[in-house]
Amino acid sequence: MRTESTLTQERLAERAGVSVETIRKLEQNERTSARMSTLNRLATALGVPTTALMGSAAQAQAMREPNAEPLGLVDVRRALTPVSGLDGRSVVGDPETGPPTAADVRRSILTANTIYHANDYAAALGLIPGLLDEARALVGFSDGDERSTAHALASRAHQLAGRLLIQLRRLDLAHVALASALDHARRSGDQMVGAAAVAPMCWLLLRQARFAEAEALAVRTADQVEPRLSTASPAELAAWGFLLMKGASAAVRDARHADARDMLDLAAAGAHRLGDRPSPDADITGVAQWRVRRGLTHHP
């Protein structure tokens, strides 16, 4: 695409605000993924969609084609389970210089989340490795209060990876992603981020027929984040109600319908209080709000 546009590497680097070295390594396949913010800048400079910079491996994996796994998941595995030496340093260096910003990572999560909810799993799979690398770099470069924010963003990046991998039926790899999401959430100290990370873990446990564990995790977390209905924010109500719905789903599958109904009644109280108030966090809790309202109106 760069050659077709007649741009030199130096000119593209100037337009995109990235290093020439990064462009060189990507073009020569010395690095098979890049930070999502870098891909966004390169795509903008080239006048193409970000997804145009993705290869065919992710498409093959999303379509579950024969022999797709070695191609489609190798970068996801690398990003989820990086290899470090005795000195604790990754054996695969980051070719990009300078730390990403929290705004970069937040924008990258929103972009990937939008693509995921548009059911374009191939494009999302192609973006996930760079997103996880970017989030990890932010945590590594942050300290003090900024590190809590970095951990919260890293949790959301891993949540998205986990949800996508569940959709692709890669459940063991999804467990790795969601365990990391929970760990980052704990380190962030943000209960709402933690609740958001628990919900897809419950979904994963349901897919694995681990009904008792899914219910216990959902109910315990719902108890921990239970809001005061009179003063709760939309995000708090949505997170609490979504967890109760996950717990109810597990109870139904375990043939305990009365317990499921009790949880749905509690979620209904939260949904009634929630009404149509918008969530300030549209990438995560806005989806939960919609699911709580829709789920409760569709239950028998």
From CA 294, how far away is CA 120, in angstroms rounded? 22
From CA 130, how far away is CA 14, in angstroms rounded? 21
From CA 151, how far away is CA 145, in angstroms rounded? 10
pLDDT classification of 58: cutoffs 50, 70, 90: low
Contact 124, 115 (CB under 8 A): yes
pTM score, whole prediction: 0.73
Give the position of tokens 């490795």: 129
Question: Which candidate, 194, 156, 201, 151, places its Cα nearest to that of 176?
Answer: 201
Residues 6+ apart with CB under 8 A from 147: 139, 187
Give me the mean pLDDT over the 184-210 stretch: 94
From CA 283, how far away is CA 184, in angstroms rounded? 18
Give me the mean pLDDT over the 214-229 stretch: 91
- Phi, psi for 151 (deg, rounded to 5): -65, -40
Question: Which candidate, 70, 68, 67, 40, places its Cα nearest to that of 54?
Answer: 40
From CA 140, how far away is CA 46, in angstroms rounded? 30
Report which of residues 141 and 70 the model is more confident about.
141
pLDDT computed for residue 279 by the predictor: 52
Contact 295, 245 (CB under 8 A): yes
pLDDT classification of 93: cutoffs 50, 70, 90: low
SS3 90: strand
Question: Which candidate, 103, 123, 104, places its Cα nearest to that of 113?
Answer: 123
pLDDT classification of 34: cutoffs 50, 70, 90: confident
**Structure-token pair, residue 41:** 């800048």
In the chain, DSSP finds a helix count (H) and a strand count (E) of 15, 0
Mean model confidence pLDDT for the chain: 83
Residues 6+ apart with CB under 8 A from 110: 283
pLDDT classification of 287: cutoffs 50, 70, 90: very low
From CA 239, how far away is CA 185, in angstroms rounded? 14
SS3 292: helix
From CA 136, how far away is CA 113, in angstroms rounded? 18
Say if residue 291's pLDDT is above 70.
Answer: no
From CA 120, how far away is CA 266, in angstroms rounded? 34
Counting residues of the chain whose pLDDT is more than 70, the rounded percentage is 82
Around 289, how many Cα atoms within 13 Å sit in the side-chain half-sphere? 20
SS3 204: helix
- Phi, psi for 84 (deg, rounded to 5): -120, 150
**Structure-token pair, residue 47:** 């006048």
